[in-house]
Structure 1
Amino acid sequence: MYQKGRAWIELDIDNLAYNIRQFRKILSPKCAIMPAVKANAYGHGAVLIAKALQDLEIKDFCVASVNEAVELRKAGILGQILILGYTSPNQFSDLVKYNLTQTVVDYPYAKLLNDFGQVIFVHIGIDTGMHRLGERSENIKEVYKMWEFDNLKITGVYSHLCMSDGASDAERDITLKQIEEFNMVINFLHRKGIHHFKTHIQGSYGVLNYPALKFDYARLGIALYGVLSSPKDRIISNTKLKPVLSLKARIACVKQLHKGEALGYGLTYKAGKEMQIATVSVGYADGIPRELSNKGFVLINGQKAAIVGRVCMDQLMVDVTDIKGVSCGDETIFIGKSGNSEIMAADLADSINTISNEILSQLGSRLGRVSIKK
């Protein structure tokens, strides 16, 4: 398959390596990076990214589901793969077959895993305030009792910060309280003579805003890919990152739109003058948000071209009236650089009141994904 035929994603592996180096500079030397490659590596392509990270001497990964983990194993990814979410009992056999590590979401789930009857590697989730998954930190005796289960090989204990991206005093107080609760659980287990397990609590913003924490793993997600969730996010560590992903598509045709004519579904855009319109071969089935209808823009030859009309399932239209020499087959940039101009994923997300995590993770499977090394 020609991967740059219609619409595609380019992955700058040099930028990925650069970001890894930046994080290694600010993390404790004893803290290993555990990249989050869930949701198809935030839309980048889980297998491509995991293989590139493995070449960069990354040995631990985390995903959301057992199916994501199995895909990586079948692609030759080695080392620990931690499943952060729930796995149904009818898939417990895959945990054993593919040597995966499962999150214990609470005490009853620990019993369910143990009753499967085969040894399963697990990390215990601790709920320190997010109230999503994990045994509540105050239920410390239930956490301790999990070590009584013969079939659980407990290799880690972790939690999840819910406001580490916040810059206000109140948000920092909540984050520090979560860290305190987590350390309370860890210290209790140590006092009980339990020492041989790894710890982790930091995601991307936990590292960027609290880099001095000394846990065993850092679960880098969106920031690993050189992206912030929002352009408004303030990063205390001032770490400079480089985007890994560019999203591009071909122009299918260029045509005249006469003054007074309308275009697209619902004819929602009407020409106020003679115009040149380019139809671009990408749409909402590829992950281009429909909310960009009549308000977004792309880059062509370093210039902005406004999206006109509704974004369709497989294509959309842009105004190229003021851009010289546009023709069939030309590249358009949705995320990335063109000349001296750039569209950042966070800026695109901000324009429709969401976050870059959502934009990237919804990029479609029919987009070709191509690794680029300079």
Structure 2
Amino acid sequence: MTERPRGAALDSLLACAISAAAAGVLIHLRPTLRKPRPAPDARAWIEVSRAALRHNAAELQNLLPTSCRLMAVVKADAYGHGAIGVARELEKAGVRAFAVATLSEGIALRRGGVRGEVLVLGYTLPSEASFLHRYRLAQTVVDGAYAAALHAAGVPLDVHIKLDTGMHRLGADWGDTAALEGIFGYNTLTVKGVFTHLSQADDLSDEAADFTLGQIGRFIDAVNTLKAKGYDTGALHIQESYGILNYPGLPCDWARAGIALYGVLCKNDQTRLTPDLQPALALKARIAEVKQVAGGEYVGYGRRFMAKTPMKLAAVTIGYADGIPRNSVHRDAWVLLRGQRAPVVGLICMDILLIDVTHIDDAAPGDIVTLIGKDGGGAIRCEDVAESCGTITNELLSRLGARLPRIFV
């Protein structure tokens, strides 16, 4: 056997030693080589209470007949709460059906691990029907022409037929039985449900109640006609949040809980039933700077606000790009800091708003400011913020920006 030169052997041993040492250094340094990730509550963020979501689902379910189950509406990123996190939490609580507005929202749920039934309430291009099939999403059918287009896509689909019973937004005419029968005739479409939407269920006036009862009656008539002709109409669903609170006893299989599921109403409404709903969302940000402003000085864009006396102002790291309505400053907006009210002053900027902290002696950079939610003994209700801005909670919450991390607590 030929011996290796001693120098070559030493070189080989030295190389092995260097490699081992380098590997040890890399293992030691591995944590520092990972990309740093900022804390989710570093700037501005949303906190979502898991307990409140579970509590609200149980409260709403208890209002319904035992044969009727909740369908959680998680469109618009679950009204700003974070659709995947909300849906997964509700699945743990026993909710098995979800509604979204778009195909992409449905796909996101599936990719996020949501296994329950998912219904797309809005329009999906027939050319994208294969995605509905691939991700096991049910599609809303709004008329015969749309049903024909989905059928032409050539993939098996589960569908729900939406009936127009008087809102005149989307839906097949409830009284056109022949057109409805045509939808059942497409062999690639399996009708899994029929539903409608109540346009005035939030209004308890006699006139609005008569209209709502008329919608309910038309829906039931259409379904009974189809059943009498031998068609399986699948799961029936009429109520949304206000339908649950004002018309809870309807003979349905599902009830589509939207805004009420998150513990708020569209506005400060009266409802026939008043379950103990708990707001699930809190909106918070931090103070970046505190400064003194002399009396007579102007503050912010356009010099819209003038300090009449010496003031102490704090810059808060949130703005209209995060979904804070820019017009809220004109309606006596305020936030909570250390449990105390602090008025918003000047025009709200894209990324910053200013608050008056003259009366809060220890206000400092890094302090947490609450824009919606509780702080100490104080609270800011979403309904009040929405009304002060001339809108409803649905819009206010769904506009909260994607750059706000959703932290489930």
- On whether the aligned pair clears a TM of 0.5, the verdict is yes
- Selected match of 1:92 from 129, 134, 141: 129
1:266 aligned partner: 302
**In the TM superposition, what is the alpha-carbon distance from 1:29 to its structure 2 partner?**
0.8
Work out whether 1:183 is the aligned partner of 2:208.
no
Amino acid of the residue matched to residue 105 of structure 1? V
Query: What stretches of structure 2 of length at least 5 have no aligned partner?
Result: 1-37
Q: TM-score, normalised by structure 1?
A: 0.98
2:15 aligned partner: none
Higher mean alpha-carbon deviation, 164-173 vs 189-198, is at: 189-198
CA distance 1:366–1:332, change in 2 (3 Å) = same
2:314 aligned partner: 278
**In the TM superposition, what is the alpha-carbon distance from 1:341 to its structure 2 partner?**
1.2
- Selected match of 1:287 from 307, 310, 323: 323
Task: Give percent identity, aligned residues only.
Answer: 44
Amino acid of the residue matched to residue 244 of structure 1? A
Higher mean alpha-carbon deviation, 356-365 vs 195-204, is at: 195-204
How does 1:88-167 map onto structure 2 within 5 Å? 88-167=125-204
SS at match of 1:49: helix
SS at match of 1:141: helix
Amino acid of the residue matched to residue 389 of structure 2? I
Matches of 1:368 and 1:186, distance apart in 2: 44
**In the TM superposition, what is the alpha-carbon distance from 1:36 to its structure 2 partner?**
0.5
Work out whether 1:227 is the aligned partner of 2:267.
no
Work out whether 1:241 is the aligned partner of 2:277.
yes
Work out whether 1:251 is the aligned partner of 2:262.
no
**In the TM superposition, what is the alpha-carbon distance from 1:195 to its structure 2 partner?**
3.1
SS at match of 2:72: coil
Query: What stretches of structure 1 of length at least 5 have no aligned partner?
Result: none
Contact 2:316 2:354 in 1 (8 A): yes
Larger radius of gyration: 2
Alignment RMSD, CA only? 0.9
Amino acid of the residue matched to residue 326 of structure 1? A
**In the TM superposition, what is the alpha-carbon distance from 1:196 to its structure 2 partner?**
5.3
1:5 aligned partner: 42
Matches of 1:103 and 1:285, distance apart in 2: 32
Work out whether 1:339 is the aligned partner of 2:376.
yes
CA distance 1:165–1:20, change in 2 (3 Å) = same
Matches of 1:98 and 1:306, distance apart in 2: 48
Q: How many residues align?
A: 371
> After superposition, what is the alpha-carbon deviation per residue over 1:134-158, rounded to whole angstroms, capped at 9, x for unaligned?
1011112211221111110110000
Work out whether 1:55 is the aligned partner of 2:92.
yes
Q: Which runs of 4+ in 1 moved over 4 A?
A: none
> After superposition, what is the alpha-carbon deviation per residue over 1:97-126, rounded to whole angstroms, capped at 9, x for unaligned?
111100001110011111111111100010
**In the TM superposition, what is the alpha-carbon distance from 1:309 to its structure 2 partner?**
0.4
Matches of 1:153 and 1:191, distance apart in 2: 18
2:105 aligned partner: 68
Amino acid of the residue matched to residue 225 of structure 1? Y
Amino acid of the residue matched to residue 244 of structure 2? V
Amino acid of the residue matched to residue 278 of structure 1? A
Higher mean alpha-carbon deviation, 191-200 vs 176-185, is at: 191-200
**In the TM superposition, what is the alpha-carbon distance from 1:90 to its structure 2 partner?**
2.5
> After superposition, what is the alpha-carbon deviation per residue over 1:46-69, rounded to whole angstroms, capped at 9, x for unaligned?
111011111111111000000000
- Selected match of 2:73 from 36, 41, 52: 36
Q: TM-score, normalised by structure 2?
A: 0.90
Contact 2:298 2:304 in 1 (8 A): yes
Amino acid of the residue matched to residue 266 of structure 1? G
Amino acid of the residue matched to residue 329 of structure 1? G
